[in-house]
Amino acid sequence: MARNLRLTPLLLPLLFLTALIKTAHAGGIAIYWGQNGNEGTLTDTCATGRYSYVNVAFLNKFGNGQTPDINLAGHCNPASNGCTIVSDGIRNCQKRGIKVMLSIGGGIGSYSLASAADAENVAQYLWNNFLGGKSSSRPLGDAVLDGIDFDIELGSTQYWEDLAKYLKAYSKPERKVYLSAAPQCPFPDSFLGTALNTGLFDYVWIQFYNNAPCQYSSGNINNLISSWNRWTTSIKAGRIFLGLPAAPQAAGSGYIPPDVLTFKILPIIRKSPKYGGVMLWSKYYDDQTGYSSTILKSI
């Protein structure tokens, strides 16, 4: 015979606390968009409901006296102001509660910082052209992005901490400037190690691919878990993400089959208080495999 269960006054706070803990550890998926014209628009990307963060990639020319340049592959031509249409996508994503970052750097480009003064100039350019400042030549139009993503893989190894400090100085209680970074998994990252020590980064999506010593390989998760533990206990950051290729062809090495990720890796790394979720490269490859759809409920 069924009995009506009544929640005692003692049980209610316990259930509430459990829900809070689950919410605190709930992760999201960050995606890189912009490097393939066949991956859909920014609006389409956010409308999937699979992503919590989108990195618009890349501003791959800046610093050292250069005129900055953005490259969004086949999406639009910035030379003819053709990328201002992306503003609609940025706003549509933000209306859904998705944070949209401008990713600077990348694996191909011409960028570096010559000095702290150069870093200050680049920060001012980014503020005026992509964030809350004013400029007559905003490449992505008048939408205000949520922050800047540092994907620094070449050029100088110095002054990135200065760029982070100058950018964060623009942050205000009513309009925060978020900072994210995509270091390689060998610790510390040769380009961003010093910058990450500032504690100014809200999100750090570590690239656990194309780096044999600290990535998944042929059923072995030990190197990856060991590296993850070192990162999460060594840097001051808001949330730390496991960065992965969304398809085998998206990287030279380090692809993790979805079942291995959901059953063997995520249950371990989700225990970290700094766990933020998973970053995927990239929207185009995710479209090919459906990787994010497969793992979403386990994040």
Distance CA 3, CA 246 (A): 48
- 120, 153, 161, 174: the catalytic one is 153
3-state SS class at 234: helix
d(CA 158, CA 191): 7
Backbone dihedral region of 31: left (phi > 0), alpha (psi from -120 to 50 degrees) or beta?
A: beta
Task: Give long-range contacts, CB 8 A cutoff, 24+ apart: 188-194.
Answer: 188/234, 190/157, 191/152, 191/153, 191/155, 191/157, 191/160, 192/150, 192/152, 192/160, 194/158, 194/160, 194/161
Q: Report which residue type is found at 68.
A: P
Q: Indicate if 174 belongs to the active site.
A: no
| CA 17 and chain centroid, separation | 29
Q: Report, as residue numbers or ranges, the catalytic residues.
A: 153
